[in-house]
Amino acid sequence: MDKDSALMRLLRTPRGAISAVVLGVIVIAAVLAPVIAPYGYAIQNLRLANMEPSAAHWLGTDEFGRDLLSRIIHGARTSLAVGVTSITISMVCGMALGAAAGYFGGAFDRAVTVVVDLSWSFPEILLALILIAILGPGLASTMIAISVAYLAQFTRLTRAQVMALKSETYIEATIAMGAGSGHVLFRHLLPNAITPVIVAGMLATGDAIILEATLGFFGLGAQPPTPSWGAMMSSGTAQIFIAPWIIIFPGLAIAITVIAINLFGDALIDALDIRKRLREN
Amino acid sequence: MTTPLVSMHGLSRAFVSSKGMFGESRTMRAVDDVTLGLPAGKVTGVVGESGCGKSTLARLALRLIEATSGSVSFDGVELGGLGPAEMRQIRRRMQMVFQDPYSSLDPRYTIADSLLEPFAIQGLMPVGATRKERVAELLDMVGLAQSTASNFPHQLSGGQRQRVGIARALALKPQFVVLDEPTASLDVSIQAQIIELLERFQQQFGLTYLFISHDLSLVRYFCNQIVVMYLGRIVEVMAAPDARPQHPYSRALLESTFAPDPAKRRIVQPLGGEIPSPFALPPGCAFAARCANVSERCRRERPALADTDAGGRVACHHPNR
Interface test with chain B among A172, A184, A272, by most B beta carbons within 10 Å: A172
- Residue B261 is predicted with a pLDDT of 73
C-beta separation of B43 from B213 below 8 A: no
- pLDDT above 70: residue B19: no
Q: What is the least distance, in Å, from the CA of A161 to any CA of chain B?
A: 15
- Residue A1 is predicted with a pLDDT of 45
Q: Does B55 touch chain A (CB under 8 A)?
A: no
- pLDDT above 60: residue A130: yes
Interface test with chain B among A110, A175, A177, A192, by most B beta carbons within 10 Å: A177
Q: Cα dist. A39→A29, A57, A160, B19, B316 in Å?
A: 14, 9, 49, 68, 96
Q: Pick from A154, A145, A146: which is nearest to A94 by CA?
A: A154
Cβ pair A178:B91 closer than 8 A: yes
Q: Which of A60-64, A252-256, A275-279 has the lowest mean pLDDT?
A: A275-279
Of A1, A183, A192, the CB nearest to B121: A183
- Residue B20 is predicted with a pLDDT of 64
pLDDT single digits (tens) B251-287: 888 777 766 677 766 666 667 777 788 787 888 888 8
- Residue B96 is predicted with a pLDDT of 95
Q: Which residues in chain B touch residue A173, judged by CB atoms under 8 angstroms apart?
A: 96, 98, 104-105, 165, 168
Q: Is residue B217 part of a domain?
A: yes
pLDDT single digits (tens) B214-231: 888 888 888 999 999 998
Residue B13: which domain range? 4-93+174-314
Higher pLDDT, A205 or B16: A205
The DSSP output letter for B307 is E
Q: How many CB pairs under 8 A join A and B?
A: 55
Q: Is residue B157 part of a domain?
A: no
- pLDDT, average across residues A242-252: 92
Decide: residue A64, CB within 10 A, 0-12 exposed, 13-18 middle, 19+ buried: middle
Higher pLDDT, A64 or B259: A64
pLDDT single digits (tens) A154-170: 999 999 999 999 989 99
ipTM of the shown complex: 0.88
CATH number at residue B258: 3.40.50.300
Label residues B224-245 b or e (16+ Cβ within 10 Å = b).
bbbbbbbbbbbbbbbeeeebeb
Q: Which residues in chain A touch residue B105, judged by CB atoms under 8 angstroms apart?
A: 170, 173
- pLDDT above 80: residue A121: yes
Q: What is the pTM of this model?
A: 0.83
- Give, rounded to a whole angstrom, the gap between the first and last alpha carbons of chain A: 22
Interface test with chain A among B21, B65, B88, B117, by most A beta carbons within 10 Å: B117
Q: Is residue B305 part of a domain?
A: yes
Q: Which residues in chain B touch residue A179, judged by CB atoms under 8 angstroms apart?
A: 121
The DSSP output letter for B100 is -
Q: Which of A263-267, B63-67, B253-257 has the lowest mean pLDDT?
A: B253-257
Q: Is residue B159 part of a domain?
A: no
Q: What is the least distance, in Å, from the CA of B36 to any CA of chain A?
A: 21
| DSSP-assigned states of every residue in A184-206 | IIIIIIHHHHHHHHHHHHHHHHH
- pLDDT above 80: residue A279: no
- pLDDT, average across residues B49-78: 91
CATH pick for A3-34+59-279 out of 1.10.3720.10, 3.60.20.30, 1.10.760.10, 3.90.105.10:
1.10.3720.10
Q: Which residues in chain B touch residue A175, judged by CB atoms under 8 angstroms apart?
A: 64
* Domain count across chain B: 1
